[in-house]
Amino acid sequence: MRDYSSIDRLIQSFDQSLRSLVPGATTAHRANPAHNHDAKLTIKEARHVAGLMRVNHSGEVCAQALYHGQALTAKLPTVRQEMEHAAVEEQDHLAWCEDRLIELDSVPSLLNPMWYAMSFTMGALAGLAGDKYSLGFVAETERQVSLHLQDHLSQLPASDHRSREILLQMNEDELAHRNAAIQAGGVELPPPICVTMTAISKFMTKTSYYI
């Protein structure tokens, strides 16, 4: 495996940011779980689902940024590889959410560049704090993401099997990332950090639903 220099990783980070933010630039490595599933929605239901999927898409933009920032500053190669692997799976989520938004005749959040910059910074700082804290940050992030996904699953119309299959697979992957981070040595974060992360997450979900 090639040993990339700091400049190489910076160039990679810039490329990754563009792929995360430019519509259509991210390609899923796995088949879309919504394949062969139906969704018959009223106009009102479609608008609500579009808002939910826009929030989930923004969440995946944040996840990409977090992993990219952490991979850039991770100290151990094994931890960096773990972050990069998780980011690849999150790319699938990003592409699936974007596909569903297109089907719903909607678009991603206009605030995604801001979410990406903020999340990248948080991820890089977590990486600088040490790998065990960086992994703990991943575990807490994925725990909160899973809670959001479960809430959105409860809000989906019963007939929207397409969105449901996507969110179910995303939730399964997020929990797997959380467990992997804990097993790799992630530590529990101090309560003030968790509370701050929750507050930022709530702000993102409320604004991305509409914008």
Annotated binding site for Fe cation: 60, 90, 93, 142, 174, 177
Give the CA angle between residues 44, 45, 49 to the nearest 5°: 120
Distance between CA atoms of 22 and 55, rounded to whole angstroms?
16
Distance between CA atoms of 68 and 64, rounded to whole angstroms?
6
SS3 136: helix
Beta-carbon-side half-sphere exposure of residue 168 (alpha carbons within 13 Å): 10
Question: Cα separations (Å) of 178 from 50, 85, 138, 151, 175?
Answer: 27, 13, 7, 18, 5
User: Which residues lie below 8 Å from residue 166, measured CB to CB, with a gap of 6+?
Assistant: 32, 33, 34, 96, 97, 100
Q: Which two tokens stand for residue 186?
A: 């992630």
Q: Which two tokens stand for residue 27?
A: 């390609």
Which is nearest to 96 in space by CA: 42, 40, 173?
Answer: 173
Annotated binding site: 60, 90, 93, 142, 174, 177
